[in-house]
Amino acid sequence: MKRILFCACVSFGIVGGIARADQGRIPVFQPGALTQPGSYVLTRDITAASGIPIVIQASNITLDLNGHAITGGSSVPRLIEIQSPYTDIRIENGRLIGGIKGIHMNAPAGNPGTSVSIHAVDFSDQIGDAVSIDNALSFEMTSCSITNVDYGVIVSGPGPSDPRASIRIVGNRIAQVSLDALTLLWARSALVYGNVFSEVSMRGMYIAGISEALITKNVFGSSVSTGTSGILMVDASGLILDNTFRGMETAVWVSGSGSRIAGNQFVGPPAAAGGSPSAVILGSSGYNGDRTLIELNKIDMHSGCGLRFSTAAHDNIFRLNTLRGSGGLAVCDNGTGNTDAGANVY
């Protein structure tokens, strides 16, 4: 009988150092490298005091953290490393705690591009970044939580000259970030939808070198106020629609051409917080802010300016905004050719 049971176990593949977990997935229960494509599942918590707990060295890998946690000490450089040039990686359903970085990929220039998807992962207490991905051809992050980190998510694409590069950030919560919650660089398109950014100490979103962004239905909040911004766009354009901003010195700062900023609600920091608050700033040193349409926003800044056009801002139009309660000035225009197209409420 014992011999028969042994044979049965061999038939089900429990040999060779890799045991099939439930539903045929490959279990991961200790630090190591994933070197073959396939579906992996964490079967217990992993704690590391040094080294990198999980290294991904193959394409087409799904790693289900299965509700478990990977925890790293302060000398763990990253909890999960995706090595170049591997792509089509999905990581989901668990917790990443501590370490210097949570998930990291450093792909050199010339890499064919990486596709990474992260879903329902809770990040906390990283000394550096929760997520940093270089050379992302496609990056998606949905239903995740990030708490108490220096940087939340840093994603850079191969550049707007590679028109395939796209980023989707949907339905996440990012809180207690001491620097930038979301940094998106050098991609053709970025969709940021339905996220909550709270207790931001520096910038909610920093977007640079992205041709088209759609940023909608997000909530941005800060209690620090001085030196904070909700969205900073440099050399980027798009649609900023139906977001809520509260307590930031600058809610939206756009240096680029042809954006539409509409339907947002802005509540500034208390007047006693000081600084130079603005709901919207257009243009900055070295970058124009032009051909922007600002409409249908509700702006209540307590102090400073509701709309601020820098000397580099020109040919912008605003209309149908409610600008009462700014405390300072509704509009501060240092640019040229910026037009009140009417129906603003002062």
Partner 1 sequence: MKYLPLLTAILALLPGTIRADEGRIAIYQPGTIDRPGSYVLNRDIVVSDGDALVIRSSQVDLDLNGYAIRATGGSGALIRIDDGFTSIRIRNGRLLGNDQFDGVVYGSTGQVPPIALRLEDLEGRDFRYGVMVQSAGSFEILSSDFSSCGSCVVLLSPTEPTGRIVDSRIADAQYEALLLVQSGMEVRGNILSTAPLSNDFVERPGVQMMGHGGIVDGNLLVSIDNPPDPTAGIVLAAPGVQVTNNVLDRHSNGMVIHSDGNHIAGNVIRRNGFNGANDGNGIWMDNLSTDPAAGNLIEVNLIDASLQCALTFGRFSADNAWRANMRFANGVGPVCLSGTNNTDEGGNL
Report, in Å, the least distance between residue 167 CB and partner 1: 8
Task: Determine the Cα–Cα distance for residues 118 and 132; give it in Å rounded to an integer.
Answer: 12
Q: Is 235 in the site for partner 1 (CB under 8 A)?
A: no
* For partner 1, the closer CB: 125 or 340: 340
Task: Determine the Cα–Cα distance for residues 20 and 18; give it in Å rounded to an integer.
Answer: 7
Report, in Å, the least distance between residue 224 CB and partner 1: 30
Of 265, 292, 266, 290, which is closest to residue 277 (Cα–Cα)?
266
Coil, helix or strand at residue 271:
helix
* Window 155 to 194, contacts with partner 1 (CB under 8 A): 163-164, 166, 168, 170, 188-191, 193
Residues 6+ away with beta carbon under 8 Å from 36: 58
Q: Is 43 in the site for partner 1 (CB under 8 A)?
A: no
Residue 202 backbone dihedrals phi, psi, to 5 degrees: -130, -80
Task: Determine the Cα–Cα distance for residues 287 and 257; give it in Å rounded to an integer.
Answer: 10
Report, in Å, the least distance between residue 198 CB and partner 1: 22
* For partner 1, the closer CB: 121 or 200: 121
Report, in Å, the least distance between residue 142 CB and partner 1: 7
Task: Determine the Cα–Cα distance for residues 249 and 25; give it in Å rounded to an integer.
Answer: 49
Task: Determine the Cα–Cα distance for residues 164 and 181; give it in Å rounded to an integer.
Answer: 24
Q: Which of 183, 211, 225, 303 binds partner 1 (CB under 8 A)?
A: 211
* Window 304 to 323, contacts with partner 1 (CB under 8 A): 315, 317, 319
Residue pair 309/289 in contact by the 8 Å Cβ criterion: yes
Q: Which of 47, 83, 106, 117 binds partner 1 (CB under 8 A)?
A: 117
* For partner 1, the closer CB: 99 or 256: 256
Residue count of the chain: 346
Of 327, 289, 286, 322, which is closest to residue 308 (Cα–Cα)?
289
Stretch that binds partner 1, among 197-205, 211-219, 274-282, 330-338 (CB under 8 A): 211-219
In angstroms, the Cα distances linking 225 to 149, 229, 246 are: 19, 8, 9
* Window 251 to 290, contacts with partner 1 (CB under 8 A): 257-260, 262
Coil, helix or strand at residue 36:
coil
Report, in Å, the least distance between residue 133 CB and partner 1: 16
Report, in Å, the least distance between residue 27 CB and partner 1: 13
Q: Is 212 in the site for partner 1 (CB under 8 A)?
A: yes
Residue 77 corresponds to which tokens in the numbers above?
């450089």
Q: Is 136 in the site for partner 1 (CB under 8 A)?
A: no
Q: Is 109 in the site for partner 1 (CB under 8 A)?
A: no
Task: Determine the Cα–Cα distance for residues 313 and 180; give it in Å rounded to an integer.
Answer: 25
Chain residues that interact with partner 1, rule: CB under 8 A:
1, 4, 8, 11, 20, 22-25, 37-40, 60, 62, 64, 88, 90, 115, 117, 119, 138, 140, 142, 163-164, 166, 168, 170, 188-191, 193, 211-214, 216, 237-239, 241, 257-260, 262, 291, 293, 295, 315, 317, 319, 339, 341
